[in-house]
């Protein structure tokens, strides 16, 4: 699929905005997310996650690489002349036709409500609430499977193995997100990581006691205690989801 991607194509001007650098700083200028900064200038491509241009057919003009996400994006030209970007599903090629409609055909790239998608079909870009826009399953190579239909909900098996309920009127796109080979990619050198905005991560055991709880000791010493962050919070194995979360009733089966 990589040979079909137009990596030199400039994004459509009306569908791009400059992506501001924050380098991990909050509104007070303090570092709130470590290990960020120094990336190259980027444009953000405005992606149509809502797929709210209903019952109008569109054609794939080209497939582009997006520096802001790990999957490819496809440029769509609709019959009324409007251009939009969508996430490129695996198998979608230049010249293919797609549509978002309640009665759309079950075909890769088409978007339709979950209630109209048969069981065992792969889906991605799923809405949490109708009209909100796809928020679930958007990374390269990911897909969910329609497991069952209920009176009000549709059960989806997520990539994590969790089975979760979504409202029947939520839209989803048919197929698996493209660029499946992304997980095999090697960064290659430190400089490329810096250009992507990723700064070095120093191990806690290599720091001094003032900078990290794991620091200090004579020679090469280990953590010597339950692993924790520089702020003393548990670093590994701690469950972060609250008990009695307000959306617990949507989960049919927990992830492994």
Boundaries of every domain in the chain: 2-181
Q: In angstroms, rounded to a whole number, what is the distance separating the alpha carbons of residues 146 and 59?
A: 26
pLDDT at 250: 96
249 vs 65, 109, 128, 164, CA distance in Å?
38, 30, 14, 9
DSSP type of residue 173? E
pLDDT at 1: 56
pLDDT at 98: 96
> Helical H runs in the chain?
190-195
Q: In angstroms, rounded to a whole number, what is the distance separating the alpha carbons of residues 86 and 198?
A: 26
Alpha-carbon dihedral 33, 39, 44, 45, rounded to 10 degrees:
-120
3-state secondary structure of 194: helix
Question: Which CATH code fits 2-181?
Answer: 2.40.50.140
Residue numbers of the chain with a pLDDT score lower than 50 = none
33 CA to centre of own chain? 19
């Amino acid at each position: 699929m990589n040979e079909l991607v137009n990596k030199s194509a400039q994004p459509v001007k009306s569908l791009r905005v400059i992506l501001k650098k924050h380098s991990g700083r909050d509104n007070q200028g303090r570092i709130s997310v470590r290990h960020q900064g120094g990336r190259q200038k980027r444009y953000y491509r405005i992606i149509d996650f809502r797929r709210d241009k209903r019952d109008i057919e569109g054609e794939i003009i080209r497939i582009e690489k997006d520096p802001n996400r790990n999957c490819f994006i496809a440029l769509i030209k609709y019959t009324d002349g409007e251009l939009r970007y969508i996430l490129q599903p695996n198998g979608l090629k230049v010249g293919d036709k797609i549509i978002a409609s309640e009665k759309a055909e079950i075909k890769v790239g088409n978007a339709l409500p979950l209630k109209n998608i048969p069981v065992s079909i792969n889906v991605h870009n799923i809405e949490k609430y109708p009209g909100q826009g796809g928020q679930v399953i958007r990374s390269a190579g990911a897909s969910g499977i329609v497991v069952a239909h209920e009176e009000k909900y549709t059960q989806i098996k997520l990539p994590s193995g969790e089975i979760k309920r979504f409202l029947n009127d939520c839209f989803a796109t048919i197929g698996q997100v493209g660029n499946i080979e992304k997980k095999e990619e090697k960064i290659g050198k430190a400089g490329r990581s810096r250009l992507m905005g990723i700064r070095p991560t120093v191990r806690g055991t290599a720091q001094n006691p003032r900078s990290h709880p794991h620091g200090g000791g004579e020679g090469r010493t280990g953590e010597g205690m339950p692993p924790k962050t520089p702020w003393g919070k548990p670093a590994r194995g701690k469950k972060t989801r609250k008990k009695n979360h307000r959306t617990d009733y949507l989960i049919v089966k927990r992830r492994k």
